[in-house]
C-alpha cells in the first residue's frame, strides 16, 4: 500500500505559558513536537505497511524547523518525507493548508490511503483532513477507531460517533482521520534514529507542487484572526472541607443546594 | 436546513417555533444516515442556489466532517468549534470566537470577503432558543434528486451498550485515577445516573482499561462544554482541562486540596471520594424525589 501521512509540528501544550502583560503565547523555550494525535496516524500507516508491504510517506507544512517533526516520523519507521516550507505558505488557515497539502499529495503520485490525525493539539480544528479529501475529491471517513480489514480496493473501518460506532466500507483511495483508540504509537528505534538523521527531506516551495498562488498563505486564506485574548477566569471556587462525617453531610447538603441554585436539580 | 429521509412535520415545525423563519428539508431515503458525499452534495447545492451569508452547523462528528468538506467545495471560510458568535456592528461580519491551544487562548475569527461565512458551534455552548408556538414560518420540502453515488458504504451500526455519549450530553460526571480500581467506578456511575449525566473519564482511567476510549475527555479524547461537569478523583492535568474547562458549571471532588481541578471549579469538595460520592448520590436522589 502506498500511504501518505500529513503531520504537523505543534508546541508541547503542557509547557505553553502565557505572557501576562500581552496576553500572547510565549513560544520561546517551548518544545516543538509531532502533534500527539498524528502519532496514531503514523502508527496505523506503519502497521498497514508492515502487514501488506508498500511505502509510508510523511508530509508536513511549516517553518524549516518542522523538518525535525518529519525526522521523528522517519525514526519511527516511515520510508520518506517531504516538507512544504516557504513564506508563501505562512499564515494559511485550514482551507489554504488543506489546499497546499492536497497539492503536495498530488505531486507524490498515486496513493491508496491518506491517514491524518483527528486534529492538531494547537489549532484544534480537525478541518484539514476532510479539507484535503475535498480538494482531491476523495471519500473521507473521520474519527476512525479501528481498521477492520483491507482488500480488493476497499477498506472497512469503525467510525466512532456520538452514540456508538459505524462500520463503514470505503473505496480506496480515501482519506481517514484516526483517533487514539486505533493503535498505541511505537517509539523510535536506534536504527530508525540513525537513518532519520541522514535521510534526505526535500523542502518544497510553491513552485514544486503545482499550486495557484492566490490560494496560499494568509492572503489566500478566507478567514482572519481578528483578536486573541485570554479566557477570563471568573470562577471563584467555593471550597468545602469534607474530612469527617459531619463535613461530608454538610458538603452533600451544599452540593444539592448549589445545583438547585444553578437550576440543575 | 434539515437533511434526512421523510422528516416528521413536528420536527420541522419545532425549528420554526425555536426561531427559524423558513425551513428547507432535503429528503431522500438514501439520506437516512450521515453519508458525507451525499450530504455534501445537498448542502453545496443549496449554498450555490440560495447564496446564504452565514452557514452554521453543530460541532458534532457529522458537522465537523461535513462542514470542512463543503467549505472547500464552495470556497468558503470556516471556523471550527466556536463557543461564541456575534455580528460586528460596523461591518456586519460574523465574529467567531473559539478556544485554541488547549483552551489557553480564545481567538476571534472573521471571514472578510469569502461567502458564506461558515462555522461549527460546540454543543451546549449556548442554551437552545425557547419554543414559541405562535411563531409562523415557511416549510419547504425538496426531493434530493440526482444524489451522487457514494464511495463509502454503511455496513452496520453498533450502539454503545452503556450510557449515552459524553459529547452531546448536557451533564457529565468524570472519573479520574483517584477511583483506584475499575470496580469502584460503580459509585461514580450511580452519581451520574442520579444526575442524569453521562460518564466521562480522564486519560489515565482509559489507559488502564477501566473505561473505554469513547469516555475519554481531554486533548487526546473529546472536548466538551456541558452545562454541568463533575470531576471525581480527577487531578486536573492540563490535557484534561483542555477538554472540559469551558463547561458552564464545574464541580470538583478530590482529597488533595491542591488538585488543579479546584482552580477551574465553581464548587470544590475536599474529601475522600469514597465517603463523599455516595452521600452526594443519596442527596441528589432525595432532591429529585422532592421535586
pTM of this structure: 0.91
Cell of B212: 473505554
Residues 227-246 of A with CB under 8 A from B: 227-231, 233, 235-243, 245
Q: Which chain B residues contact residue A251 at CB under 8 A?
A: 269, 271, 276, 279-280
In this structure, what are the phi and psi dihedrals at residue B267, rounded to the nearest 5 degrees? Answer: -135, 130
Within this chain, do residues A180 and A210 fall inside the same structural domain, yes or no? yes
| Closest C-alpha to B35, from B141, B155, B139 | B155
Within this chain, do residues A246 and A145 fall inside the same structural domain, yes or no? no
Domain that holds residue A107: 2-215
- Burial class of residue A121 in the structure, from the number of CB atoms within 10 Å of its CB (0-12 exposed, 13-18 middle, 19+ buried): buried
> What are the beta bridge partners of residue A175?
A114, A140
CB contact under 8 A, A242 and B237: no
First to last CA, chain A: 55
Contact by Cβ (8 Å): A144, A182? yes
- Does the model's ipTM exceed the 0.85 cut? yes
Please compute Rg for chain B using Cα positions: 21
Chain B interface includes A127 (CB < 8 A): yes
Residues 49-78 of A with CB under 8 A from B: none
Within this chain, do residues A87 and A20 fall inside the same structural domain, yes or no? yes
Assigned domain for A228 exists: no
Residue by residue, pLDDT tens for chain A (265 residues) are: 999 999 999 988 766 666 656 555 666 778 899 999 999 999 999 999 999 999 999 999 999 999 999 999 999 999 999 999 999 999 999 999 999 999 999 999 999 999 999 999 888 899 999 999 999 999 999 999 999 999 889 999 999 998 899 999 999 999 999 999 999 999 999 999 999 999 999 999 999 998 999 999 999 999 999 998 887 666 889 999 999 999 999 999 999 999 999 999 8
Within this chain, do residues A147 and A29 fall inside the same structural domain, yes or no? yes
Strands A154-161 and A164-171: antiparallel
Within this chain, do residues A110 and A74 fall inside the same structural domain, yes or no? yes
Within this chain, do residues A15 and A116 fall inside the same structural domain, yes or no? yes
Within this chain, do residues A14 and A139 fall inside the same structural domain, yes or no? yes
CB contact under 8 A, A164 and B164: no
Q: Which residue of B214, B264, B287 is the best one to mutate when testing the A interface, meaning the one whose CB has the most A CBs within 10 A? A: B214
pLDDT at B200: 97
A84-141 pLDDT tens trace: 999 999 999 999 999 999 999 999 999 999 999 999 988 889 999 999 999 999 999 9
Within this chain, do residues A198 and A263 fall inside the same structural domain, yes or no? no
Residue by residue, pLDDT tens for chain B (291 residues) are: 999 999 999 999 999 999 999 999 999 999 999 999 999 999 999 999 999 999 999 999 999 999 999 999 999 999 999 999 999 999 999 999 998 877 778 899 999 999 999 999 998 888 889 999 999 999 999 999 889 999 999 999 999 866 568 988 999 999 999 999 999 999 999 999 999 999 999 999 999 999 999 999 998 899 899 999 999 999 999 889 989 988 999 999 999 999 999 999 999 999 999 999 999 999 999 887 665
Within this chain, do residues A161 and A239 fall inside the same structural domain, yes or no? no
pLDDT at A229: 85
Nearest-CB residue to A258 (from B151, B153, B267) = B267
CB contact under 8 A, B227 and A264: yes
pLDDT at A22: 58
How many Cβ atoms are within 10 Å of B140's Cβ, its own excluded?
Answer: 11
Chain A interface includes B87 (CB < 8 A): no
**Domain count for chain A:** 2
| Closest C-alpha to A70, from A79, A84, A60 | A60
Q: Which chain B residues contact residue A142 at CB under 8 A?
A: 61, 64-65
Residues 163-222 of A with CB under 8 A from B: 163-171, 174, 179-181, 221-222
Nearest-CB residue to A242 (from B164, B214, B269) = B269
B119 three-state secondary structure: strand
Q: Which chain A residues contact residue B105 at CB under 8 A?
A: 18, 23, 25, 228-231
Contact by Cβ (8 Å): B225, B124? yes
Contact by Cβ (8 Å): A23, A228? yes
- A171: domain CATH number is 3.40.50.620
| Closest C-alpha to A253, from B192, B227, B286, B194 | B286
- Burial class of residue A245 in the structure, from the number of CB atoms within 10 Å of its CB (0-12 exposed, 13-18 middle, 19+ buried): exposed
Cell of B202: 480522564
Q: Which residue of B105, B233, B277 is the best one to mutate when testing the A interface, meaning the one whose CB has the most A CBs within 10 A? A: B105
Rounded (10°) angle between helices A67-76 and A36-52: 40
Nearest-CB residue to A237 (from B171, B237, B262) = B262
Q: Which residue of B59, B66, B72, B285 is the best one to mutate when testing the A interface, meaning the one whose CB has the most A CBs within 10 A? A: B72
Cis upstream peptide for A173 (omega within 30°): yes
Assigned domain for A71 exists: yes
Assigned domain for A225 exists: no
Residues 44-83 of B with CB under 8 A from A: 60-62, 64-65, 67-73, 75-81
Chain A interface includes B121 (CB < 8 A): no
Q: Which residue of B104, B119, B195, B239 is the best one to mutate when testing the A interface, meaning the one whose CB has the most A CBs within 10 A? A: B104
| Closest C-alpha to A196, from A60, A73, A57, A35 | A73
Assigned domain for A230 exists: no
Nearest-CB residue to A141 (from B114, B152, B288) = B152
pLDDT at B117: 98
Within this chain, do residues A181 and A251 fall inside the same structural domain, yes or no? no
pLDDT at A251: 96
Within this chain, do residues A15 and A127 fall inside the same structural domain, yes or no? yes
Cell of B72: 472547500
Please compute Rg for chain A using Cα positions: 22
CB contact under 8 A, B71 and A260: no
| Closest C-alpha to B140, from B270, B16, B34 | B16
| Closest C-alpha to A40, from A125, A95, A113, A115 | A115
CB contact under 8 A, A255 and B79: no
Assigned domain for A112 exists: yes
Assigned domain for A34 exists: yes
Q: To which residue does cell 434528486 refer?
A: B145
Within this chain, do residues A151 and A253 fall inside the same structural domain, yes or no? no
C-alpha B181/C-alpha B237 separation (Å) is 20
Assigned domain for A252 exists: yes
Assigned domain for A220 exists: no
Residue B237, CA distances (Å) to A175, A224, B218, B234, B242 in order: 32, 31, 9, 8, 9
Chain A interface includes B123 (CB < 8 A): no
Amino acid at each position: 500500500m502506498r500511504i501518505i501521512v500529513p503531520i504537523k509540528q505543534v508546541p508541547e501544550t503542557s509547557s505553553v505559558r502565557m505572557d501576562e502583560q500581552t496576553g500572547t503565547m510565549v513560544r520561546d523555550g517551548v518544545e516543538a513536537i509531532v502533534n500527539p494525535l498524528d502519532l496514531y496516524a503514523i502508527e496505523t500507516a506503519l502497521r498497514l505497511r508492515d502487514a501488506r508491504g508498500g511505502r509510508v510517506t510523511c508530509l508536513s507544512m511549516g517553518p524549516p524547523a518542522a523538518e525535525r517533526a518529519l525526522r521523528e516520523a522517519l525514526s519511527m519507521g516511515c520510508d520518506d518525507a517531504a516538507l512544504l516550507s516557504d513564506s508563501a505558505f505562512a499564515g494559511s488557515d485550514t482551507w489554504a493548508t488543506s489546499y497546499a497539502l492536497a497539492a503536495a499529495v498530488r505531486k507524490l503520485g498515486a496513493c491508496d490511503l491518506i491517514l491524518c490525525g483527528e486534529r492538531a493539539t494547537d489549532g484544534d480544528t480537525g478541518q484539514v483532513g476532510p479539507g484535503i479529501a475535498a480538494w482531491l475529491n476523495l471519500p473521507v471517513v473521520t474519527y476512525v477507531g479501528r481498521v477492520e480489514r483491507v482488500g480488493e480496493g476497499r477498506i472497512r473501518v469503525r467510525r466512532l460517533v456520538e452514540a456508538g460506532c459505524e462500520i463503514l466500507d470505503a473505496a480506496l483511495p480515501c482519506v481517514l482521520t484516526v483517533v487514539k483508540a486505533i493503535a498505541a504509537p511505537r517509539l523510535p528505534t536506534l536504527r530508525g534514529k540513525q537513518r532519520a538523521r541522514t535521510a534526505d527531506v526535500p523542502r518544497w516551495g510553491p513552485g514544486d507542487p503545482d499550486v495557484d498562488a492566490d490560494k496560499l498563505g494568509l492572503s489566500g486564506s478566507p478567514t482572519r484572526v481578528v483578536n486573541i485574548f485570554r479566557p477570563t477566569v471568573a470562577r471563584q471556587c467555593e471550597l468545602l472541607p469534607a474530612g469527617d462525617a459531619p463535613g461530608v453531610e454538610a458538603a452533600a447538603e451544599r452540593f444539592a443546594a448549589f445545583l438547585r441554585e444553578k437550576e440543575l436539580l | 436546513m434539515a437533511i434526512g429521509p421523510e422528516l416528521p412535520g413536528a420536527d420541522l415545525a419545532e425549528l420554526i417555533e425555536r426561531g427559524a423563519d423558513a425551513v428547507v428539508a432535503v429528503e431522500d431515503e438514501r439520506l437516512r444516515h450521515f453519508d458525507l458525499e451525499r450530504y455534501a452534495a445537498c448542502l453545496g447545492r443549496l449554498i450555490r442556489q440560495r447564496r446564504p451569508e452565514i452557514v452554521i452547523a453543530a460541532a458534532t462528528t457529522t458537522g465537523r466532517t461535513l462542514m470542512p468538506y463543503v467549505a472547500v467545495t464552495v470556497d468558503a471560510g470556516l471556523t471550527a468549534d466556536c463557543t461564541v458568535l456575534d455580528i460586528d456592528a460596523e461591518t456586519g461580519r460574523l465574529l467567531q470566537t473559539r478556544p485554541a491551544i488547549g483552551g489557553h487562548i480564545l481567538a476571534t475569527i472573521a471571514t472578510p470577503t469569502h461567502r458564506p461565512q461558515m462555522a461549527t458551534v460546540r454543543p451546549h455552548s449556548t442554551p437552545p432558543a425557547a419554543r414559541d408556538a405562535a411563531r409562523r414560518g415557511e416549510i419547504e420540502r425538496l426531493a434530493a434528486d440526482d444524489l451522487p453515488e457514494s464511495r463509502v458504504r454503511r455496513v452496520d451500526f453498533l450502539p454503545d451498550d452503556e450510557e449515552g455519549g459524553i459529547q452531546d450530553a448536557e451533564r457529565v460526571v468524570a472519573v479520574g485515577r483517584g477511583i483506584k480500581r475499575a470496580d469502584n467506578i460503580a459509585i461514580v456511575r450511580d452519581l451520574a445516573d442520579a444526575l442524569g449525566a453521562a460518564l466521562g473519564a480522564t486519560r489515565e482511567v482509559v489507559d488502564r482499561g477501566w473505561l473505554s476510549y469513547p469516555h475519554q475527555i481531554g486533548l487526546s479524547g473529546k472536548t466538551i462544554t456541558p452545562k454541568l461537569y463533575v470531576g471525581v478523583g480527577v487531578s486536573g492535568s492540563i490535557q484534561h482541562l483542555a477538554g472540559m474547562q469551558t463547561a458552564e458549571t464545574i464541580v470538583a471532588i478530590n482529597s488533595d486540596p491542591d488538585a488543579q481541578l479546584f482552580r477551574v471549579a465553581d464548587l470544590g469538595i475536599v474529601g475522600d471520594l469514597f465517603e463523599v460520592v455516595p452521600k452526594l448520590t443519596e442527596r441528589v436522589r432525595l432532591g429529585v424525589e422532592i421535586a
